[in-house]
Structure 1
């Protein structure tokens, strides 16, 4: 028994050492470079597991940097940029590193005048000693930059990673939350790196957009369908089931409209950033839901000759909305990249609703078959 406890203690010790060493490896202060370069300051950047080391000589307005990050795929690219005029990508002066066709690392400069215009060219300030290397899944950019005095000692920085390089040109990066938030300010003298102030409020609006649409189309709407499909089987629930169904669907539509408007606002603020599939599914979903709401006013009486066709139209659109909403909400999770538990929680709710529907389906079929048998007698 003592020997067993001794082995457990040794194992725990090894685990503790490995955890401590891995946590230290995730900070810029523990990073060393093969060229033995040393820098006065370093910062663990807030997004994309990236790091920046720098030394600033105020007398010469000279900035030496080492940017460290991992591309999203092995043959991808990394970039670090200064934006002299704004806080985002548009207008930034960019250094991009990637593997050339012969396998060696190269650094190229790009003047990103707009989201649709990315040109390889000289930057608006002098850059020398540009080199790059790659090891252990990480790429590093080294450069010396002569900054214009007009920039001052606090600059706007932008960093990014991408998945591939096609014909010597970096392919588009992902547009996930962390990609869009990879920007901020850099205090060259005091050694401080801060996230851009507009990121938090925008992220909050995205979260609101996701919550509104998740609750409306993703939860309330399927619950409303369950009410209509299964409660109507019980004669004692008529007409209460109809009012419950209508109330649930109208509430889902009202909340969904708020979520849709929030999405339009976010889209108008994201010039050059498009989530085509998510947007198109959202437009389709909202259009079908609007048509579905019209069914409330076009509903013929039960004995009317067109009631069968109305039922087919109403039920088909309803089930289509459920399928599209679940697909689009999952796409929204991919875009927003929240903590995994939120996506897991939504999937659990959907599975619970689906399980409830299966149980109620079996119960209602039993009731209907018994009722038919009684009527036949």
Structure 2
């Protein structure tokens, strides 16, 4: 699956996600850029995929700079920004790209995310020519494919211009999600003998390369991301943002299917609140507040019912996200299966409330065993599934630290309450019974 990566770090750096708020300033800067500077350069990759050849091209008809769409990325339905970005598809590539990239006609051109524009054309022999462009000032931009839709295990072409203005383009293998696991000069992209090219034309960066596939390329999962810092010693920094989507490379359709990051965040937030906070708190109450009868019972029922609602919403949103993603892997299937299993355990706990026998019933001890252990099992798998979901969703350190802190607080509270309960029971056992003697008559 392709990974599209782009950096737009103005001085001061303007994050691409908030790019639409900087449109007036950006247009002024770009206008001055076109009027006085507007350098056009391109570079071809050498045998080691390290582009070092620079050629200057002085043209006065560079493309205009346009803002992204109102929802934060281009290619969404409706809006004038997408239509304006489509006008950039009319840019004459021959003015700044070398053959064969500048001479290819009939390429499909689609705005896909933020200021990213993808041009591509597949020949009958399954050779795919790809040209990615986006607004650029510094950092790196890349594009790659993955077998299962995940970032880990994918291969990417990455291009950038270093601080000296030298162009660089390399293939990387994304062995994992950490920067140290992004390996240069490795990967499984079927590159042809045509050297890849990275070029600057006005404020846009263009990265062009050719791939030869064994069969026709149609629907393909794609990851979009960008990093703001220029690579040092060819080591890529962690991406600042990314987008997962499914692109249709079939001739004439070229549909883009977005997987909303907001939908994924809502799924994670609901899961953490439901199975990571509310349900554990509700389970603590009956163990350590039994002396507050019947207050503990009503608190336990209300809190667990609220946790069940959060858990149900988490599963429903997860199913919707699973169907939208349209990419199935063993980790995703495991996460989905565990989530449904926890939901079943939660439903059984709700049924236990209505089937609760009386205290003097002979089967009450079996009900207690069933209710306690099914609840503990649900909490254990809930915590396990939260961690697995973070791994699948490539959650940032904020998510991991936040949930780790929450889990630590809950475990610390349980330990403290357990020690206090043990001391209280121990004191009761050690205290000798007191006898009240009747006075002698």
TM over 0.5: yes
Distance 1:284 1:310 in 2: 20
State whether structure 2 residue 399 is matched by structure 1 residue 342. Answer: yes
> Which of 47, 52, 55 in structure 2 is aligned with 1:34?
52
TM-score by length of 2: 0.49
Counterpart for residue 271 of structure 2: 213
Give deviations 1:9-46, integer Å, cap 9, x for gaps: xxxxxxxxxx99xx9xxxxx9995235477988x9xx9
Question: Structure 1: where are the runs of 5+ without partners?
Answer: 1-18, 24-28, 48-53, 81-96, 110-127, 134-139, 146-155, 162-176, 186-195
Offset at residue 287 of structure 1 (A): 0.7
Residue 108 of structure 1 pairs with residue 163 of structure 2: no
Post-superposition offset of 1:243 = 0.6
8 Å Cα contact 2:243/2:261 also seen in 1 = no
Change in CA separation of 1:224 and 1:76 when aligned onto 2, cut-off 3 Å: closer
Higher helix fraction: Structure 1 or Structure 2?
1
C-alpha distance in 1 between matches for 2:187 and 2:355? 66
Q: Distance in 2 between matches of 1:104 and 1:252?
A: 47
Partner of 1:51: none
Any stretches of 5+ residues in structure 2 without a counterpart? 1-8, 14-39, 44-50, 66-71, 74-90, 95-101, 108-118, 120-128, 133-140, 145-150, 159-170, 174-184, 198-206, 213-218, 225-240, 250-255, 435-441
Distance in structure 1 (CA, Å) of the matches to 2:382 and 2:311: 11
State whether residues 222 and 322 of structure 1, in contact with CA within 8 Å, keep that contact through their aligned partners in structure 2.
yes
Report if the CA contact (8 A) 1:79-1:160 is conserved. Answer: no
User: Where does 1:344-359 land on structure 2 (aligned, <5 Å)?
Assistant: 344-359=401-416
1:356 Cα deviation after fit:
0.6
User: Would the aligned equivalents of 1:131 and 1:142 in 2 still touch at CA under 8 Å?
Assistant: yes
Separation (CA, whole Å) in 2 of partners of 1:105 and 1:257: 41
CA displacement 1:340-362 (0-9 Å, x = unmatched): 11221111011001101100001
Show the 5 A alignment for 1:1-377.
33-36=51-54, 56-57=93-94, 60-61=105-106, 69=142, 77-78=155-156, 108=190, 130-131=194-195, 142-143=209-210, 178=242, 180-181=244-245, 198-199=258-259, 202-232=260-290, 234=291, 237-274=292-329, 275-374=332-431
Secondary structure in structure 1 of the residue aligned to 2:190: strand
Q: TM-score, normalised by structure 1?
A: 0.56
Alpha-carbon deviations, 1:51-99, whole Å to 9, x = none?
xxx97249844777667649878x963379xxxxxxxxxxxxxxxx789
Aligned length: 267
330 and 37 in structure 1: CA distance in 2 versus 1, 3 angstrom threshold: farther
Which structure has more relative contact order (CA 8 Å, sep 6+)? It is 2
Task: After the TM superposition, list the runs of 4 or more consecutive aligned residues in structure 1 that deviate by more than 6 angstroms.
Answer: 37-41, 70-73, 103-106, 182-185
Q: Secondary structure at the match of 2:354?
A: coil
| Pairwise CA RMSD | 4.8
